[in-house]
Each structure stands twice: as structure tokens, then as C-alpha cells.
Structure 1
Amino acid sequence: MKDLKLNNRDTFKHFLSMPTRWMDNDIYGHVNNVNYYSFFDTAVNRYLIDAGVLDIHHGSEIAFVVETHCNYLAPIAFPDTITAGVRVAHLGTRSVRYEIGLFRNDDDTPAAVGHFVHVYVDRASSQSVAIPQATRAALIPLLIGH
């Protein structure tokens, strides 16, 4: 994400639209920064659930967020609709780095871009494990350059 302004919709692989809520706005009249991370998390985890590779209640492997970052480029406010674009920048043995762009309404340039890193762990022990094969297969289509 070296040049943040070059992250238009065409550079992302998967999209999820989400409405903003009245309670997302802060005293300054725009969506509070903490909500951007919630949009990131929702977009990625919804993709994994829809792909059938994340069982949030019973899966033996789960992913912990170990790193996150966001660059805020333009304000978002209720009643905007957010479209989160998701791509995978790195797919390792035990971790994956997602990059997410948040697009306001029909804008082609993002209001925010960020990333987070998931490390896969065994649910019972919290010990690092390899990304399950089914999860890896679901992530490959999101991989940059694929």
C-alpha cells in the first residue's frame, strides 16, 4: 500500500457493503476511527464464514489479530454505505496479511486503507498452527498477483 491514493476499487479482490449506523458518528459528525477497525474485521471474517472455513463457535483452529493499521484519507459519516475491498498481501505458513480499503458510497478512491495480520492458532491451546488447507484455498483467490 505504498501509494495510498492508487488503491482504487480495481485493486481489491472481494467486496462487502455495510451501512453505517447513527451510533457510528462521533461528536465531530463523522464515523469515529475505532469503527474502521470493526469494518475491517467484519469484512474479513464474513468472507471466511461465507467461504465455509471459519466456524466461530466450534472450529479447532482460529485466527488472532496480531497487527493492525489504518490510514484515514477522507471522512465517512452516517448515513453513508461502506464497501470494504479485501485482498491478501501475504499468505504465509501460519499467518496472513489482509489489506482492506473502505470506500464511501460509490467512490472509487478509498476513504481509508489499512491492514491486519491473522496468526492461526489451535483454539484449545492458543499455540500457533499452520493455516488449514481449506482456508488457504479460500484465501488464494484474494492474493495479490493471483
Structure 2
Amino acid sequence: MSDSPRRPEARPRSHYRHFSPIHTRWMDNDAYGHVNNVVYYSFFDTAVNRYLIEAGALDIHHGAVIGLVVETHCNYFAPLEFPQLVEAGLRVAHVGASSVRYEVGLFAAGAPATAAAGHFVHVYVDRASRRPAPLPAPLLAALQSLRDPA
């Protein structure tokens, strides 16, 4: 029996509950001709916040609570590049009293497995005090469709 950590593997589309298109931009490519690793984290942020805004669960300008990113992680399996359409898969892995752990998978358009996969953790805080706040009902409702069926 080995004590070494399990090697990360690409995820299939079936792992995710919602998909959102993201177009790569010329500036996303690095000197090696593929999307730079830091851009993947921007794609994660875009996928999560776009979903929440479109679901009516997040008001970035006037909402009483805001989500602060406290942790993010990414494993890379295949390159993405400009020009290319990326499909961001999203699911909720954990809901706490004031936090949510999202799993995000980035797919080249139509690809069966992730080019990159990781997680993104929001802690929701009161906009004014920046202290953790309970997840509001509209947010909990929006998260429900991203969770695995019981």
C-alpha cells in the first residue's frame, strides 16, 4: 500500500450540474501559445459569479452579503488556447453556515473531459463589517440545483 497521494484525474461532463460558455481572448495566451495558468482562476471566478448573478442570488453592487474567495485550487490536464470556446462546468461540493465550496471544470467546447478542474471557496460576509454572515435564502435556493441529488 502506497502512502503517496492519488494522482488527480480529468473529470467527465457528468460530474457537473451547470455549464457556462467563456470565450478566450488574445491576451489570455502566454508565450507558449496556450492560456496562462492564472487565467484559469479568472475563468473559475467568472463561472461562479455569473451563475450566482443570473440566478438572482448575488447583487454585487448593493447586496447585504458578498462572497470572498478564501481558497482556490486547479489541476491542469490539457491546454486551452485562443481562439477557443471554453465551457465551464459547475457544481457545489459543500455548503456550510457561511461558506460554499464550488467545483469547477473547464472543457474545450464539446470535449468529454476537463482540460482543467479544481475548486473555489467563497466565505460570505456582511458587506459593511466583513464578518461571516449566514447564507441568504436566495443563495441557498440557487445552490440547490448545483448539488448532487440525494
Shorter-chain TM-score bucket reads over 0.9
Q: Secondary structure of the residue that 2:71 maps to in structure 1?
A: strand
For the 8 Å contact 2:10–2:114, the answer to whether it is kept is no
| Equivalent residue number for residue 37 of structure 1 | 41
State yes or no: 1:28 paired with 2:36.
no
| Identical counterparts, % of pairs | 59
Q: Which runs of 4+ in 1 moved over 2 A?
A: 2-6
User: What amino acid sits opposite 1:18 in the alignment?
Assistant: I
Instruction: Name the CA distance, whole Å, in 2 between partners of 1:105 and 1:12.
Output: 15
Instruction: Name the CA distance, whole Å, in 2 between partners of 1:26 and 1:107.
Output: 22
With the length of structure 1 as denominator, give the TM-score of the two structures. 0.95
Displacement of 1:5: 3.3
Displacement of 1:63: 0.6
Equivalences for 1:1-146 in 2 at 5 Å? 4-5=8-9, 7-146=11-150
User: RMSD of the TM alignment (CA)?
Assistant: 1.3
In our comparison, the structure showing a higher alpha carbon Rg is 2
Aligned residues: 145
For the 8 Å contact 1:83–1:102, the answer to whether it is kept is yes
